[in-house]
Structure 1
Amino acid sequence: MKYSGYPLLLILLLISAAASSQTYKNELGLRSDNDSYLGQGSDRYYTNGLFFNFRHALDQQKLPQNLEKKTYEISLGQKMFNPYSGDAPDPATQDRPFAGYLYAEGAMNWFYSDESIIKASAQIGTTGKNSLGEAGQKLLHSTFGFYDIEGWDYQIKNELQLNLSGQYTKLLTRIADNAVEFSFEGYANLGTTFTGAGAGLLFRTGALNQLFNSAYTNAVIGNHAKTKALVKREFFFYAKPQLNFVAYDATIQGSLFNNNSPVTFSQKPVVFAQQLGADYSSQRFTVDFSVIFKTREVKSSAIAHQWGSLGLFYRFD
């Protein structure tokens, strides 16, 4: 008797289709910020950032009707700042303080069916030597054979840091057969490290999912999804001009409660930022790269600066 391979082939295709459309409840992410990604040879101001996070989607069938998705996340992060160079031993020539910020963060995200999003987060961390900024930058430079680091003796001093943050995102319009989109983004920070607010306009174009299913908003994960994603794989370009109002920045001004840091400056109260990026995402993986340009942040001889940001994300059950 002859055996036909068609039933087996059909089963394999069905399994493959199910796997490609499967949503996963959990996500691990790594993001790295560094000005060296732009290949300009500069090493100034916000010079390095490293962030690890875990996200989990709650059971969507148990949520109110107008709430599409709810997730929580836990993050660990470190930011490093230095003057015009990591080799700036003379405090008289430093146009920005050496500073490190190490923190842990917990956050909740509410994704509504009208494609509005609310995010609330809290951070606890430290500046100063306890932030391991000096150790991290020296390790990075020695590992990759970069120049020697000198000047961290004048860094912002140790201080326990507590910060609260809120963010609001809202779809404004999606046109051209869902290939072009405009959204509003706004945020407010209140804390001992960063206090301020900002607002911007997000533009995306390409193969897009709804904001409650998109990699841009870290919303690919799901748990008994209510609404099907528009596309299985996202690939889009995005731009986000944003105006920021800065009331306090401890990495520039030092401690909110004392004046024990040897080198400090006043912050610029208004800073404009422009982010340009590209994102590819399947149900399992996301790769994101963007470039961020910022106007002057410090009332000194410091100039505008820019850096690159690379994000890698993996989802699982």
Structure 2
Amino acid sequence: MPRVRRTILLSLAAAVACGLFAVVTQAHADEYGRLTLTEENDGLLPDGLDRHYTQGAMITYLSPTVRPEDFTTHLFDGLSGVLPFFQPGAGVQRKFDVVVGQTIFTPTRYHDPVPDPRDRPFAGYLFTGGSLLQDTNGTMLENFEVLAGVVGPDSLAKEAQESFHSIAGFNNKNLDLGYRYQLRNEPGFMVTYERKWRIWQTRFAGVEAEVIPEAGLTAGNVMTYVSAGATFRIGQNLNVDYGIARIRPALSGTAWFDASRLEQDFGWYLFAGVEGRAVVHNIFLDGNSFTNSRSVEKNIGVGDVSAGGSVFYRDWVKLDASFTERSKEFKTQAQADHFGQVNLTFRF
């Protein structure tokens, strides 16, 4: 029965995303959206560590530009009517995205049949959701995101990690025993609002450079935190986006891409950025909200340093790669974590 229930949950998540996707494609049959495949994994780095935030995968569909007659316009206008978000006016462009993803967390010694209670517990999060995105005059991007899913065995974290290890030839010894101590099943949601601004941009010798600060607030039983950071980028065709797509929590990034701002067919950029978070709640460290589970004492302040690059041809295809160093997230953590990321985006 548990396997059947997990299969049903996964199917429901996929059905929600596919249903929303179908609505989008019907409404914009004469335009193109964009599909982004995201993989984050500590195994992408040379040291091949497999611990803590060890795996993240996400599929994102970004819609074409929302038109005034579209249903989504009412969502933007509804929020702008009660909150200082998404103010209409000249130079405003709106899009939305739909996502399905999964994140996996393990202790350092994940082969131990009884995991160290001083290390972070096994946990997974299977989620779906979407964002409303508004660009204003190419200088500010707003992102309102809602994610919902399940934490615990129904997240399929154990099955995903066992399958990946088997394909990659890694050792699965005692992995099923360790996962007996994972967080219990719990519905999980996060609501996020964040902004990014282009506050400085210059050109020299055919190359652009810019600084993009950001600030955001995330609330939910999965994670609650306040964040702020900034990214420096150098390259060509920078105005088409505000940075690469990422899996939360991370240096703020979205799948936003505005092909109308392309100045030439080929684009590229290198970037480096930092983000700091004041963490009020993190279910993957604090444990389940309503039942007893493994937990560790979290650090309130957590920071990321990220660097990487992106190359793209028109709006047809885009490839991103990055590296992130994350500070210690809990009191008994021996050393900081790091992981790599790859995104592949194509017109769809």
Q: Same fold (TM over 0.5)?
A: yes
CA contact (8 A) 1:288 1:310 kept: yes
> What secondary structure, in the 3-state scheme, does the structure 2 residue paired with 1:92 have?
coil
CA drift at 1:87:
1.4
Structure 2 equivalent of residue 238 of structure 1 = 271
CA contact (8 A) 1:242 1:272 kept: yes
Aligned residues: 288
> What secondary structure, in the 3-state scheme, does the structure 2 residue paired with 1:119 have?
strand
Structure 2 equivalent of residue 268 of structure 1 = 299
CA contact (8 A) 1:206 1:237 kept: yes
Structure 2 equivalent of residue 36 of structure 1 = 43
Decide which structure has greater helix share: 2
Higher mean Cα deviation, 55-64 or 79-88? 55-64
Structure 2 equivalent of residue 166 of structure 1 = 193
CA drift at 1:146:
0.2
Distance in 2 separating the partners of 1:135 and 1:94: 24
> What secondary structure, in the 3-state scheme, does the structure 2 residue paired with 1:151 have?
helix
CA contact (8 A) 1:47 1:80 kept: yes
| Alignment map for 1:269-284 (pairs within 5 Å) | 269-282=300-313, 283-284=315-316
> What secondary structure, in the 3-state scheme, does the structure 1 residue paired with 2:44 have?
helix
Structure 2 equivalent of residue 229 of structure 1 = 262
Distance in 1 separating the partners of 2:322 and 2:242: 20
CA drift at 1:103:
0.5
1:59 to 1:124, Cα distance in 2 relative to 1, 3 A: closer
The structure with the largest alpha-carbon Rg is: 1
1:37 to 1:24, Cα distance in 2 relative to 1, 3 A: farther
Structure 1 equivalent of residue 282 of structure 2 = 249
> What secondary structure, in the 3-state scheme, does the structure 2 residue paired with 1:135 have?
helix
Distance in 1 separating the partners of 2:241 and 2:57: 26
CA drift at 1:212:
5.2
Structure 2 equivalent of residue 14 of structure 1 = none
1:28 to 1:74, Cα distance in 2 relative to 1, 3 A: same
Distance in 2 separating the partners of 1:35 and 1:161: 24
Amino acid in the other structure paired with 2:98: I
Amino acid in the other structure paired with 2:336: A
Structure 2 equivalent of residue 219 of structure 1 = 256
1:298 to 1:111, Cα distance in 2 relative to 1, 3 A: same
Segments of 5+ residues of structure 1 without an aligned counterpart are: 1-22
Structure 2 equivalent of residue 291 of structure 1 = 323
> What secondary structure, in the 3-state scheme, does the structure 1 residue paired with 2:219 have?
strand
Distance in 1 separating the partners of 2:209 and 2:302: 27
Distance in 1 separating the partners of 2:39 and 2:121: 22
Amino acid in the other structure paired with 1:97: P
CA contact (8 A) 1:44 1:81 kept: yes
Structure 2 equivalent of residue 15 of structure 1 = none
Structure 2 equivalent of residue 186 of structure 1 = 215
Higher mean Cα deviation, 207-216 or 305-314? 207-216
CA contact (8 A) 1:201 1:240 kept: yes
Matched, 1:126 2:157: no
Distance in 1 separating the partners of 2:89 and 2:122: 49
Distance in 2 separating the partners of 1:245 and 1:214: 22
Amino acid in the other structure paired with 1:218: A
CA drift at 1:60:
6.1
Distance in 2 separating the partners of 1:35 and 1:137: 13
CA contact (8 A) 1:24 1:221 kept: no
Distance in 2 separating the partners of 1:215 and 1:230: 19
CA contact (8 A) 1:239 1:275 kept: yes
Q: Deviations over 1:119-170 (max 9, x none)?
A: 0011111101000011111111112110112411100110011210111000
Q: Deviations over 1:282-313 (max 9, x none)?
A: 22001000001011001224421000000000
Matched, 1:71 2:102: no
CA contact (8 A) 1:185 1:199 kept: yes
Over the matched positions of the two proteins, sequence identity in percent amounts to 24
CA contact (8 A) 1:45 1:96 kept: yes
1:215 to 1:285, Cα distance in 2 relative to 1, 3 A: farther
CA contact (8 A) 2:240 2:262 kept: no
Distance in 2 separating the partners of 1:194 and 1:295: 17
CA contact (8 A) 2:309 2:320 kept: yes
Distance in 1 separating the partners of 2:66 and 2:149: 31
Amino acid in the other structure paired with 2:309: A
| Alignment map for 1:190-205 (pairs within 5 Å) | 190-205=219-234
CA drift at 1:95:
1.0
Segments of 5+ residues of structure 2 without an aligned counterpart are: 1-29, 74-87, 246-253
> What secondary structure, in the 3-state scheme, does the structure 1 residue paired with 2:201 have?
strand
1:285 to 1:24, Cα distance in 2 relative to 1, 3 A: farther
> What secondary structure, in the 3-state scheme, does the structure 2 residue paired with 1:91 have?
coil
Amino acid in the other structure paired with 2:283: A
1:146 to 1:116, Cα distance in 2 relative to 1, 3 A: same
> What secondary structure, in the 3-state scheme, does the structure 2 residue paired with 1:95 have?
coil
Decide which structure has greater strand share: 1
